[in-house]
A and B are shown apart, each in its own frame.
Chain A
Amino acid sequence: MDMLLDGFATALTPINLLYACIGVLLGTSVGVLPGIGPAMTVALLLPVTYNVSPEGALIMFAGIYYGGMYGGSTTSILLNTPGESSSVITAIEGNKMAKAGRAAQALATAAIGSFVAGTIGTVLLVALAPSVADWVVNLGAPSYFAIMLLALVAVTAVLGDSKLRGFISLALGLSIGLVGTSTGQPRLTFGNSLLADGIDIVVVAVAIFAIGEALWVAAHLRRRPLEITPVGRPWMGRADWSRSWRPWLRGTAYGFPFGALPAGGAEMPTFLSYITERRLSKHPEEFGHGAIEGVAGPEAANNASAAGTMVPLLALGLPTTATAAVILASMQSYGLQPGPGLFDNEPELVWGLLASLFVANTLLLVLNLPLAPVWAKLLRTPRPYLYAGILFFASLGAYSVNFQWFDLLVLLAFGLLGLAMRRFALPVLPLIIGVILGPQLEYQLGQALQLSEGDWTTLLSEPVAVVAYVVIALIVLVPLVARLRGGGTDPLEKELDDLEKEVRP
């Protein structure tokens, strides 16, 4: 508790409060803006890490993360086109509510629900992360190796529709991670000394998220303007409150554990929350026509999962979402290694960050309710300026790494890869996580084998490692068995499939 109070002392210094404000505002606006998500924003802002203190930068990034999650809901409510996969569900009921003239209530239940879920999620994070870190600190290299492998397989196989495409993306990411001389010999450097230090993760992330997305949108730019529902100041009546608070809590209960798991993500809990609310609702007939529960639950779930994501990120150094992956990259550029040691070595930073999550959440609520009409206006940004701006800042971000034109060339090459990935439906997350975790995976394996003097059975010498391998086997084998049995899919999966069909016509 004392640590947390010290953290608030760090988070509430004027400069860090300013960073939190900037982060929350930036995060919400990019969440609202089409084409840009929180991961891309943090990637574009990575250059500031060269001069801003680590506390300031991380506080700002955390604000962007929470803000982006919230901003995405505004877009899905006011336009029927969700930007992030985590707000797909919000769009179903939220846009119907907006069309029925209840945009203000939909935005309010999303904002307040996000606040409730984010706050509870952060409390759980503060309670859990240090104990997880204490537990993890005793693990050896074999366990680390197994847990990282689990995260890679889980992120690749559980999320997304096609496992094949997930693994293709992962393998590409691992190959990018091989480039450089980390083992003492140049690998995949094409004899180019500029590649000796490896390919900067900043350049890869900016290219895949920003350039790839901008080029993909350019190829398919919508010719007709989108319909935007006008909105006033969000508010809720008594009936809305009484219908919202239970879904908020249930959504939080789904969101946090899914975020904290190595393969969590925000899509699954939002789907589950929606299904639950539809089953439990006293107004089932309203579902599909704008039921407030269908906005309240999923919105709470996706914010709680953002908080959950911070548990493996801080305690294990494992990123489970794209934004978390980019935040991890920023920590590495400060020479900080997230993981159990972080709580001992950098208590001020960690607790400041945790405290700032509470601050960011409160700021979000205070800012977002009155500012909703402004966010709605942002949706009218002329598209040529929006996407030219993305390309401009992406180039600046990559150029500022070393001020070499070569980095811009690498940026373009990976940008084209990002474009191809969107064309061929290759998921982006496994690639980014592969780039980041690949070298660490190799390092841990090397460590484990070094200690055992080349005895491979050492990989099974720790119970945690064995458990991780069992889970990996289950993740890979269970769907296979289910498919072989044919038709043996469980009802939940079927319902998810139906829902997906409803959402994506």
Chain B
Amino acid sequence: MSAAKADEPSTRVVDRAQYALAAFLAVVGAYVLYDAATLSAGFSDQVLSPAAFPYVVGGALVVLAVLLAVVTARGDVPEAEAGEDVDLTEGADWLTVAKLVGVFVVNIVLIDLLSWAITGALLFAGCTWVLGSRTHVRDLAIGAVMSVGTWYGFYVGLGIPIPAGILDGVL
């Protein structure tokens, strides 16, 4: 063991973030097990207890979490997913992701009040801005056309009454 270590001290990379994933799996698994334990026995005609499946799944999650932690410690590194627009040669830009999540949360908070016809436009324009577009007026205009268009598409085209929020009576 020690000989191998001496040979390649610097080549072993441990992806520490993967421990966080393992911890997440363990927490989910533990909660599934806890939730299963709180279930009361099934109806008398239920041969398969409602808790049986959760016990299996929760247990599997905990075991998998342990296995993941072990392989991580042994130097297992995930091969991140490639794609046409994905450039893996540079580090991840988590700030952009955080901004997108922010735009998303704004949409969630405002949608009941302002309705999709408005927040949809903001969502689109906000995302284009975060992703590097600098033509704000045009982006907002495109967003507005899309959100109002889809609103009417649902209301008139598909016959689904999509809430109008503050624009009730206007649209």
Residue of A nearest to B59 (CB): A171
CA distance A393 to B61 in the complex (A): 33
CA distance A383 to B127 in the complex (A): 11
Residue of A nearest to B130 (CB): A218
Give the residue of B29, B131, B143 whose beta carbon is less than 8 angstroms from that of A221.
B131
A168 lies within 8 A of B84 (CB): no
A residues less than 8 Å from B54 (CB atoms): 178, 187-188
A164 lies within 8 A of B64 (CB): yes
Residue of A nearest to B119 (CB): A395
B residues less than 8 Å from A258 (CB atoms): none
Encode contact with B along A379-413: 1 for CB under 8 Å, 0 otherwise: 00011110111011001100110010100110010
Interface status of A454 (Cβ within 8 A of chain B): yes
Give the residue of B84, B101, B128, B150 whose beta carbon is less than 8 angstroms from that of A81.
B84
> In chain A, residues 100-129, which have Cβ atoms closer than 8 Å to a Cβ of chain B?
none
A405 lies within 8 A of B127 (CB): no
Q: A79-B84, A187-B39, A392-B120 are in contact. Are A405 and B111 (CB under 8 A)?
A: yes
CA distance A183 to B129 in the complex (A): 46
Q: A178-B57, A391-B104, A504-B82 are in contact. Are A385 and B162 (CB under 8 A)?
A: no
Q: A83-B84, A185-B40, A217-B83 are in contact. Are A453 and B160 (CB under 8 A)?
A: no
User: How many B residues touch A, CB cutoff 8 Å?
Assistant: 79
Interface status of A174 (Cβ within 8 A of chain B): yes
CA distance A408 to B109 in the complex (A): 10
Give the residue of B78, B120, B143 whose beta carbon is less than 8 angstroms from that of A396.
B120
Give the residue of B35, B112, B127 whose beta carbon is less than 8 angstroms from that of A188.
B35
B residues less than 8 Å from A188 (CB atoms): 31-32, 35, 54
Residue of A nearest to B53 (CB): A442
Interface status of A497 (Cβ within 8 A of chain B): no
Give the residue of B18, B87, B159 whose beta carbon is less than 8 angstroms from that of A220.
B87
A residues less than 8 Å from B128 (CB atoms): 384-385, 388
Encode contact with B along A206-224: 1 for CB under 8 Å, 0 otherwise: 0000000111111111111
Interface status of B168 (Cβ within 8 A of chain A): no
Could you list 27 A-B pairs, sorted by A, with CB under 8 Å? A35-B83, A167-B60, A168-B68, A171-B64, A175-B61, A178-B54, A184-B46, A184-B50, A185-B42, A216-B81, A217-B83, A218-B130, A220-B86, A220-B90, A226-B84, A384-B127, A384-B132, A388-B123, A388-B125, A388-B133, A391-B100, A395-B123, A423-B80, A424-B17, A424-B21, A425-B79, A438-B57
7 more A-B residue pairs beyond the given contacts A168-B25, A171-B61, A416-B101, with a C-beta to C-beta distance below 8 A: A34-B84, A188-B32, A217-B86, A219-B97, A220-B93, A384-B133, A388-B127
